[in-house]
């Protein structure tokens, strides 16, 4: 017990320092629960969102405990960490973030934490955002190309090897095996989308999160807003999307699972295009939903896009 008490006291101290920075106060329940690690002493890896957690689990195998800070369905760009998130992070052994300005909240989140973190997108060939106030900034959604996720997996294997050197070979082998699965999903996706007729090769979505997928599959990407943020779906942005859909006679448009589809329904109402379905980008679904894993997410999106753009019903 003395060990646990010390660990708890240290963590409360750390968490309190971070909370003070965020202008929050530490609840009395901070030390109330049994430490989650009491029956599981594997190192704990936290990721900023569910997609990274799934990839990390594939690389970690059963050697590390991997959890996501944000839950399935959460809006991840402007997420506001809770005191519980900060307590959890203070006890983690490694934190993984996407980088490329995806997690606007991350720098402040880790500021007071004495926990190493690694940026998993390091080494990816970055695509810039083409429009809006974000023009020229990196498009953060690099994981929408499975080829990029191979780089993510290799970066994770390296970070895990530093954390747990005894299992370095296991992480490397896991990453290699997972990368083979990523390659087949990449090939499947490109093959599926390449059957679309030339005049239907346009992907109209709410957020501009599909640049990497569109590049891989040879689709023209059009979106209402560039990056999920407070200011989105202005009348001008909606008009721009409506004009594109009308001029190219795009048969179907899409919106993502973590945002409201109301602006895209306006585009549907004004153009006669069909609503092609919900796409997943920034979050997996719950375990019993349509995309519990990253590989499911890519397969689901490729199928939804192909079906709707070739005239099928979602």
Residues in touch with Zn ion (CB under 5 A): 209, 228, 282
In whole angstroms, give the CA distance from residue 43 to residue 166.
12
Shortest Cβ distance from residue 103 to Zn ion (Å)? 10
Shortest Cβ distance from residue 288 to Zn ion (Å)? 24
**Which residue is closest to Zn ion by CB?**
282
Indicate the residue among 78 and 123 with the shorter CB distance to Zn ion.
78
Q: Residue 128 corresponds to which tokens in the numbers above?
A: 């810039």
* DSSP 8-class letter at 135: T
CA distance to 9, 10, 44, 91, 128, per residue, from 13 (Å):
6, 5, 19, 11, 41
Shortest Cβ distance from residue 52 to Zn ion (Å)? 13
Shortest Cβ distance from residue 83 to Zn ion (Å)? 25
Shortest Cβ distance from residue 75 to Zn ion (Å)? 8
Q: Residue 4 corresponds to which tokens in the numbers above?
A: 């646990």
Q: Please, which contacts does 273-277 make with residues 24 or more away whose CB atoms are closer than 8 Å?
A: 273/204, 273/245, 274/308, 274/314, 275/314, 276/251, 276/252, 276/304, 276/305, 276/307, 276/308, 276/309, 276/314, 277/304, 277/307, 277/308, 277/314
State phi, psi for 16 to the nearest 5 degrees: -65, -40
In whole angstroms, give the CA distance from residue 278 to residue 281.
10
The residue count for the chain? 314
Shortest Cβ distance from residue 226 to Zn ion (Å)? 10
Shortest Cβ distance from residue 99 to Zn ion (Å)? 14
CB 172 within 8 A of CB 158: no
Torsion of CA 15, 82, 56, 44, to 10 degrees: 30
In whole angstroms, give the CA distance from residue 89 to residue 70.
12
């Amino acid at each position: 017990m003395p060990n646990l008490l010390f660990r708890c006291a240290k963590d409360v101290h750390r968490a309190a320092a971070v909370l003070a920075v965020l202008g929050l106060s530490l609840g009395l329940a901070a030390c109330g629960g049994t430490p989650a690690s009491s029956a599981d002493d594997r190192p704990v890896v936290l990721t900023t969102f569910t997609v990274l957690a799934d990839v990390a689990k594939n690389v970690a195998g059963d050697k590390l405990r991997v959890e996501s800070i944000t839950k399935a369905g959460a809006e991840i760009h402007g997420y506001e960490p809770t005191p519980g998130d900060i307590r959890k992070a203070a006890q983690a052994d490694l934190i993984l973030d996407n980088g490329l300005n995806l997690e606007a909240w991350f720098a402040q989140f880790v500021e007071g934490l004495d926990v190493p973190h690694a940026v998993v997108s390091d080494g990816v060939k970055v695509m810039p955002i083409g429009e809006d106030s974000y023009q020229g900034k990196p498009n953060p959604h690099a994981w929408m190309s499975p080829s990029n996720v191979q780089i993510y997996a290799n970066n994770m294997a390296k970070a895990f090897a530093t954390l747990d050197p005894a299992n370095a070979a296991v992480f490397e082998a896991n990453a290699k095996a997972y990368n083979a699965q990523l390659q087949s999903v990449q090939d499947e996706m490109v093959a599926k989308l390449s059957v679309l007729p030339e005049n239907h090769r346009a992907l109209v979505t709410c957020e501009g999160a599909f640049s990497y997928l569109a590049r891989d599959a040879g689709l023209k990407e059009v979106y209402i807003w560039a990056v999920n943020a407070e200011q989105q779906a202005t009348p001008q942005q909606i008009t721009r999307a409506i004009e594109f859909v009308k001029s190219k006679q795009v048969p179907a448009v899409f919106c993502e699972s973590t945002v409201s589809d109301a602006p895209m329904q306006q585009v549907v109402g004004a153009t006669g295009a069909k609503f092609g379905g919900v796409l997943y980008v920034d979050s997996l679904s719950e375990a019993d939903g349509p995309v519990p894993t990253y590989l499911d997410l890519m397969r689901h999106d490729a199928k939804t896009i192909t079906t709707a753009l070739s005239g099928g019903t979602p």
